[in-house]
Structures are given as structure tokens and as C-alpha cells.
Structure 1
Amino acid sequence: MTVTVLRPGPLTVLKDRGRAGHAGQGVAPSGAVDRSARARANALVGNSPDAAVLECTLGGLRVRFDSPATAVLTGTDAVLSVGGDHAGVEEVVEVPAGAEVTVTMPRRGLRSYLAVRGGFAVPPVLGSRSTDRLTGIGPPRPAAGDVLPIGTAPPGGRGTGTASARGATPPAGEPWEVDIGPRDDWFTAVALETLLSAEFTVSPASDSVGLRLTGPALSRSRTAELPSEGVVRGAIQVPPDGQPIIFQSDHPVTGGYPVIAVLTPAAADLAAQARPGAKVRFAVAPG
């Protein structure tokens, strides 16, 4: 079973759980930017949790299924069209052989996830089928004319995952939750108060490496340089200009700027769907 790429859209890459365990070699985990949407897509078609999917930024993807297949689209309100027929939000569909499947541009959200039963079986690199855009490690970006193999369908039928039409962007008026630290002592009390009270705007310079925000500067209490140290997805790093950067899935292994807070996993998934111009507020996670 194969899928032929007819049009890749603005940015389509392969993503799975990521390549854990290689930080010592300078290789970050990568993986899907919106982890919950990718996991939900695999669950809906009955795949194993580590199956690879296509992560489509702003839609535009068009492919042809060369054999009958089962597919689903999650993550945004983009429409999955099969031979001209539109599927519902996160509706699992049966795709006949030879059918063309398209992903429209979403009205809300940024990244959609196309899963097919059996997963996309491209050769793994360092144990993962994720494309890391920072390092270039992993399978290349699909281009028009590429043929992607589909793996063997797992035993049983469709999955038992529950479709979710969540907003794909932070709900209006609801802040993203963070855990404060680990370098809050590098910032003034005013900076911490500003982080939790001010509104920030997503910059057009954002990508899967980092979500760049603009807003009131977060002032430091120290002028010294911080030695590079390990960072994680969701870390909010603050460079000297005081404008925060939220690390996303393709973040580097280490960073040299202090981290004022870290997004909760759910908030990090919301960050994956934030378009340039979106407004962001933060609050301390309960507990």
C-alpha cells in the first residue's frame, strides 16, 4: 500500500512520537508539535501509538491513495476531502483505491494531522520517523511525486479513540497554564508579575523550533551570562531583549538564556496551534 503526494502544501512533514534517548549526541526528541492531536489521530484509526502521521501546516496537502485505506484528520477544523466528498470533524473515512484526498486550509488552528491505518512506513532515522527541522535529521519533507509506503494494518478494526472538536487555538479569555521556574531567580518580581498579567502576541517569526512572542519585556535581575543547560518542550526562554520564546518540538537540546517558566503538556499542545497574531496570556498551573 502506498500514498502518492500530488501537492505537499505550505509545509508537510512526517511525525511520530520522536527520537528519545539521543540528547547526549545533541539530537533533540522532535516528534509532533501537537502531541495530543497526533495521538488522537492514531487512536481513531486503530494504529499503535508510535505510528507516523503527516503533519500539515495550514493545509494544502493533496495525495492519492493507491490502495483502499482508512484515514482521519485531527488537530484543526481543516476539512478532509475524499474524492470531493467532505468528511466531518475528525471523522474516520474509508478511502477507495485511486481516490484523491485533500486537506483544506483551516479557519482556526495551524497544524493538522493525517493518519492512515498502518501508519506511514518510511525508513526510521535513529529510531524515529519524525522530521527534525532544526537539525535536518529524519525523513525529508514530502515533495510532489513522492510515494510514501503504508505499513501493515494492525489486527482488529478501527480504534476506540474519541473524536474531539476542541478549538485548536487557546479558548478566548482562557490563559495557558505554566509551571514557574527553573530560573525565576534570574528575573525581577516585576517580570514574574508581567508574565502572569500581560498579554503577548505570537510573532510571524515562529516555527516548530520556537514560538516567538512580543509584548512587554521581561526584565532580568542579573546581567551575567548563563551557561548552556538542557531545555525541554514548552520551556519559556527569555533572551536579553526580554521577549519570550516558547520551545516547541524541534527545539535544541540546550539553551543559553534563562527559562522563566515551562508550559504544561496541554498548553504546549495549544501553542502548536497558535497562528501569528494570536493573543496569549499565562497563569500558574494549579497544584
Structure 2
Amino acid sequence: MIEVLQPGPAAYVEDLGRPGLASLGVGRSGAADRGALVRANRLLGNPDDAAAVEVTLGGLQVRFHDDHVVVLTGARVPATLAGVPVAGDTLLRARPGDVLVLGVATAGLRTYLAVRGGLAVPPVLGSRSWDVLAELGPAPLVGGEMLAVGRPSGPGPVAEHSRPPAGTGARAPGHVEVDVEPGVRAEWFAPGAWETLVGGPYRVTPDSNRVALRLDGVVVARADRGELASEGLVRGAVQVPPSGKPVVFLADHPVTGGYPVVGVVTAAGVDRLAQLRPGDALRFRGAGTGPGRPR
């Protein structure tokens, strides 16, 4: 068992979500940075979709009541285990009574605490993910909560510490660029809208969360066509409301939306966006020639 002493600003149990239920009005949800969750599980020898704790900005404190092998991935965060500083992307052996303390993240936004065997909280509709928009799944963690750990499914890591894989860990945001594919609603945008999107700088606004990044920057002009009927949305969709300020949907996006989608960020790009904080800058790197046009 793992005891939550302090959850920090926000801590959720997340796996890879509940796909295949959009027709019922249920979004996939799951880890905001899927790559970081999968990396943690592969380091531990877990299935890719094993549940872990997604920690927002740090501040989590937990006590281990049994022997466990754990790992931290995603945002870089100062951490101690039993009072000893520990690194991310490194296998850590926790003993009964050991306390893991995360400070404030120094790069990135979301850190993943994964344990060998995965978290065994009760699933909801087949997933152990909390969806902040639908308020579906295991509730946000609170102090005093006890988290059960599953039984390992096969041979796992035996070393007390392992080298981090090359190229892992959240990078300092700086000037982030992500790849975006064209959308299919060219007729809903003014001429030059695609070039505006991929040419102009944007910043993440404070009203961003696991549902979407709301951006401030150059305006993507829409054509005067009234309102679009609601249609399906996907993770990474770049929707343009009447204000012209793009909104990029993340893990907990709604299943439908009524504003036209100018493009869709790649899966790897969405993982990078999930690590951005309010005020961070980004640019879109375009593929193709624009929404709905041959590439």
C-alpha cells in the first residue's frame, strides 16, 4: 500500500484512458503526457497502460507501507526518498516507512509516479483515469488516502537504480515547437488562416488545464459562415472560436465541439504541450498546405 500524505496542487490516478466510448458521450481521458506514462511503465516492466499518479507541478508526499520499486518521469522535479535526493527516470527501491517528497517542478508541469505492479484502484468503465471534464473515474487524491498496488505481471527490474534512457525527461520549455497536420474545414477560415497559425507565436493562458490549452497570440481569422454544427473532436485538435484565439484539446477534451478545427497536433506534440505552463511560448510547425487542401 501507498499512503498519500499530501497531494500537492493536484494529483490524479491516470492510465491510458477508456477508448472506444465516444459514441456514448464518454471521452478517452488518460495521462496528459502519454509518453511519460508509457516510459515509466516500461522502465518498471509494467504493461504500458498500468495506472500511475499524475502530479501537477509537484508537492506530492507519499509513504510506502511495503517494499516497492518506483520511478518518476515527466516534468523534472527535486525529490527525496527517505531523506535522500533521487533522480527522475531512475528505478528507486522504497522500503516500508520510506517517504517520497516531491518539490516544485523545475521544468515541465506534470510528473508521473509509477510503481512496479501499477496502482490497483477500482476502475470505472474499464479505466483507472480521472477525467476532470466529466468528473469520471477515481477521484483526485487527498491526504490520508491509501492506494493499493497490483501484482507484477512478469519479471521486473532487479537493480536498485538504472540509467535513464537517452532523451527522456521534460525539457525546459523555452520556445516549444510542435507539429500540426491540416484540418478539413478550409471553407470555415479566411484566406491565409493556416499561414497565420503556423507563423505566429502563442503563449499558454492561465485558464488552461487537462481539457485544453487556451492560447493568446495572433488571431486566426474565420470566414463569415455562422456556426458549425457540433462534430467529433480528437486529442490534439486545434479549434478556433469566434475570438480567433486557438484552443488545443488535451486528454480530457469533450467528445464533440461546434467550432471549426484548423489542424490537429501530432501525438508526440500533444505530450509536449501537456508539459507547458501558463506563460510558456509555443509555435506550430505546419505539415501540408493548409486545412482541407491536398498535401
Cα 1:77–1:135 shift into 2, 3 Å: same
Stretch deviating more after TM superposition (132-141 or 277-286): 277-286
Q: 1:161 to 1:128 in 2, by over 3 A?
A: farther
Q: Which amino acid in the other structure matches residue 248 of structure 1? A: L
Q: 1:162 to 1:82 in 2, by over 3 A?
A: closer
Q: Partner residue of 2:254?
A: 252
Identity of paired residues, percent? 45
Q: Where do 5+ consecutive residues of structure 1 fail to align?
A: none
Instruction: Name the aligned partner's letter for residue 113 of structure 2.
Output: L
**Aligned: 1:154 with 2:153:** yes
Contact 2:119–2:147 under 8 Å retained in 1: yes
Q: Report the equivalent of 2:54.
A: 55
Task: Check whether the contact 1:10–1:57 (CA below 8 A) recurs between aligned residues.
Answer: yes
* 8 Å contact kept, 1:170–1:274: no
Distance 1:67 1:269 in 2: 32
Residue 22 (structure 2) aligns with = 23
Q: Aligned partners of 2:144 and 2:150: how far apart in 1?
A: 19
TM-score (norm 2): 0.93
The alpha-carbon distance between structure 1 residues 279 and 17, as it changes in their structure 2 partners (threshold 3 A), is: same
- Provide the C-alpha distance between the structure 1 equivalents of 2:74 and 2:14, rounded to a whole number of angstroms: 13
Separation in 2, partners of 1:30, 1:222: 33
Matches within 5 A, 1:57-76: 57-76=56-75
Residue 204 of structure 1: aligned partner: 206
1:32 is aligned to 31
- Displacement, 1:68? 0.6
Which residue number in structure 2 is paired with residue 195 of structure 1? 197
Residue 292 of structure 2: aligned partner: none
Shift of 1:98: 0.9
What residue number does 2:123 align with? 124
2:238 corresponds to which of 224, 236, 240:
236
Retained in 2: the 8 A contact 1:19–1:31?
Answer: yes
SS of the residue corresponding to residue 23 of structure 2 reads: helix
Matched AA of 2:284:
F
* Runs of 5+ consecutive residues of structure 2 not aligned to the other structure: 289-294
Give TM-score scaled by structure 1 length.
Answer: 0.95
The amino acid of 2:210's aligned partner reads S
Cα displacement (A) at 1:222: 3.0
Give 1:174 shift: 5.3
Deviation for aligned residue 1:205: 0.4
- Count of paired positions: 286
Q: Match for 1:217: what amino acid? A: V
Q: Shift of the alpha carbon at 1:88?
A: 2.0
1:45 equivalent in alignment to 2:47: no
Conserved? CA contact 1:109–1:169, under 8 Å = yes
Distance 1:83 1:161 in 2: 20
Choose from 159, 162, 165 the match for 1:163.
165
Alpha-carbon distance, 1:172 to partner = 4.1
C-alpha separation between the residues in 2 aligned to 1:285 and 1:5?
A: 44
1:154 Cα deviation after fit: 2.3
Q: Deviations over 1:97-122 (max 9, x none)?
A: 11001122111100000000011100
Q: Judge conservation of contact 1:170–1:270 (CA < 8 Å) in 2.
A: no
Distance, in Å, in 2 between the alignment partners of 1:255 and 1:269 is: 22
Q: 1:131 to 1:93 in 2, by over 3 A?
A: same
